Amino acid sequence: MPLTESRSNLKWSEPVQLLQKAQQVISLSDNTSHAVDNLPSNGSFKVGVDLGTAYTVMVVLNAEGEPIVGEYQFTQIVRDGLVVDFIGAVDILRAMKERLEAKLGRTISHAASGYPPGVPQAERAATAHVIEAAGMACQGLIDEPTAANNVLHMQDGVIVDIGGGTTGIAIFENGEVVYTADEATGGTHLSLVIAGANDISFEEAEALKKNPVEQSRLFPIVRPVMEKMGTIVEKHIRGSSARSIILVGGTPLFPGISEVVSEITNLPTRVPNNPLFITPLGIAMHDRMN
Ligand code: ATP
């Protein structure tokens, strides 16, 4: 996947190898359980679970912090950052855990998880309960922007996580989150606009949106939604000292979004390779090694 960058003067280096490795080992759930070659038969590992509006991702890191196995699956168990289908979430996660255990040849007994900024304490606990009910000790809960920054190491700037249901904004100063906000506009809204414009179902629109061959034709249709996302970001960062923006999550996989956000915020904006896996990787880094 090409790296998209709206301006060349952005001073930031991305963990290219880590993200390439994630792309290689994290696969779409396909109900297969074949063993994966070259996995350590012993040694400690860390596990991250990201329960999202659109995707649930589970990834395992080895002692060196490299992703060794992982899966993602389209799910509808979370809405606006809240778990709305507890039983469904547990079933999906348990099945994912079993497939990854078969690939690893090891039992997965622990994991960390994440939550969008602004989610109440009780809902964070619900996320932990899903992990526990799926048979893992929840060893850590981390807010999603901080998780993303475990991977990106941004000192001063903005990480914008555009997922299925929400756009999350986190401003970093000296590597620490100083401001967060979350608004209910995400990739789902791009799909709704595509469905309306083409008179097709939401599911067909989702598939069309992710088809690289169709994306340039669809760009004018989805551009107003991207502009709204840019306006949301601009509103939240106005007056801050932020000088650059990194877009993560699944929606930035749609080409052209960094340019739209850059135009509206007037800040250099970049999409790293494999933006979909950045937050799950950072969540896994938050797990305790055992
Ligand atoms: P949220 O963060 O809102 O809870 P989530 O964690 O499920 O949601 P992500 O997994 O980051 O969100 O992203 C999911 C979104 O990314 C969906 O709207 C999906 O359609 C979109 N998406 C995934 N792949 C692509 C692609 N190749 N092109 C465009 N959009 C994509």
Check whether residue 164 and residue 107 sit in a common domain: no
What pLDDT does 41 receive?
57
Asked if 125 and 138 count as a contact pair (C-beta separation under 8 A), the reply is no
What pLDDT does 30 receive?
72
* Token duo for residue 52: 């999202």
Dist. CA 250 → ligand 1 center (Å): 3
Q: CA-to-CA distance for 111 and 269, rounded, in angstroms? A: 32
Pocket test for ligand 1, best of 92, 276, 277, 283 (most atoms within 8 A of CB): 276
| Number of other residues whose CB lies within 10 A of the CB of residue 112 | 25
- Look at strands 46-51 and 110-115 and give their pairing: parallel
Pocket test for ligand 1, best of 159, 183, 251, 260 (most atoms within 8 A of CB): 251
**Which domain does 178 fall in, by range?**
149-272
What pLDDT does 52 receive?
85
Asked if 276 and 7 count as a contact pair (C-beta separation under 8 A), the reply is no
How many independent structural domains does the chain possess? 2
Q: Tell me, yes or no, whether 290 lies in a domain.
A: no
Dist. CA 53 → ligand 1 center (Å): 8
Q: Tell me, yes or no, whether 33 lies in a domain.
A: yes
Q: What residues are in contact with ligand 1 under a 6 Å CB criterion? A: 52-55, 78, 163-166, 186-188, 206, 209-210, 249-251, 253-254, 276
Check whether residue 139 and residue 21 sit in a common domain: yes
Dist. CA 181 → ligand 1 center (Å): 18
Nearest protein CA to atom 30 of ligand 1, as residue: 251
Q: Tell me, yes or no, whether 117 lies in a domain.
A: yes
Please identify which residue in the block is written with the tokens 């009780």: 122
Read off the CATH number of the domain in which 137 is found.
Answer: 3.30.420.40
SS3 of the chain: the string is CCCEECCCCCCCCCCHHHHHHHHHHEEECCCCCCCCCCCCCCCCCEEEEEECCCEEEEEEECCCCCEEEEEEEECCCEECCEECCHHHHHHHHHHHHHHHHHHHCCCCCEEEEEECCCCCHHHHHHHHHHHHHCCCEEEEEEEHHHHHHHHHCCCCEEEEEECCCCEEEEEEECCEEEEEEEECCCHHHHHHHHHHHHCCCHHHHHHHHHCCCCHHHHHHHHHHHHHHHHHHHHHHHCCCCCCCEEEECCHHHCCCHHHHHHHHHCCCEEECCCHHHHHHHHHHHHCCCC
Q: Tell me, yes or no, whether 122 lies in a domain.
A: yes
* Token duo for residue 178: 């100083």
Dist. CA 187 → ligand 1 center (Å): 6
Nearest ligand 1 atom to the CA of 206 is: 20
Overall average pLDDT of the 72-96 stretch: 90
What pLDDT does 12 receive?
59
Q: What pTM was computed for the model?
A: 0.90
Check whether residue 158 and residue 258 sit in a common domain: yes
| Number of other residues whose CB lies within 10 A of the CB of residue 231 | 14
Give Dmax over CA atoms of the chain in angstroms: 53
Q: Tell me, yes or no, whether 225 lies in a domain.
A: yes
Q: Tell me, yes or no, whether 8 lies in a domain.
A: no
Check whether residue 39 and residue 157 sit in a common domain: no
pLDDT digits (tens, 9 = 90+) for 100-130: 999 999 999 999 999 888 788 888 888 999 9
Nearest ligand 1 atom to the CA of 248 is: 11
Please identify which residue in the block is written with the tokens 């901080």: 146
Dist. CA 280 → ligand 1 center (Å): 13
pLDDT digits (tens, 9 = 90+) for 274-290: 999 999 999 999 998 87
Instruction: Name which of 17, 95, 8, 50 is nearest 285 in CA terms.
Output: 50
pLDDT at 4 exceeding the cut of 60: no
Check whether residue 52 and residue 101 sit in a common domain: yes
pLDDT at 6 exceeding the cut of 80: no
Pocket test for ligand 1, best of 29, 53, 92, 260 (most atoms within 8 A of CB): 53
| Number of other residues whose CB lies within 10 A of the CB of residue 33 | 11
pLDDT digits (tens, 9 = 90+) for 200-253: 999 999 999 999 999 999 999 999 999 999 999 999 999 998 999 999 999 999
Q: Say what the alpha-carbon torsion angle 6, 157, 112, 123 is, to the nearest 10 degrees.
A: -100
Nearest ligand 1 atom to the CA of 81 is: 4
Dist. CA 199 → ligand 1 center (Å): 22
Overall average pLDDT of the 179-185 stretch: 91
* Token duo for residue 237: 């960062």
Q: CA-to-CA distance for 268 and 8, rounded, in angstroms? A: 8
Nearest protein CA to atom 12 of ligand 1, as residue: 163
pLDDT at 20 exceeding the cut of 80: yes
Nearest protein CA to atom 6 of ligand 1, as residue: 52
Check whether residue 267 and residue 207 sit in a common domain: yes
Nearest ligand 1 atom to the CA of 54 is: 7
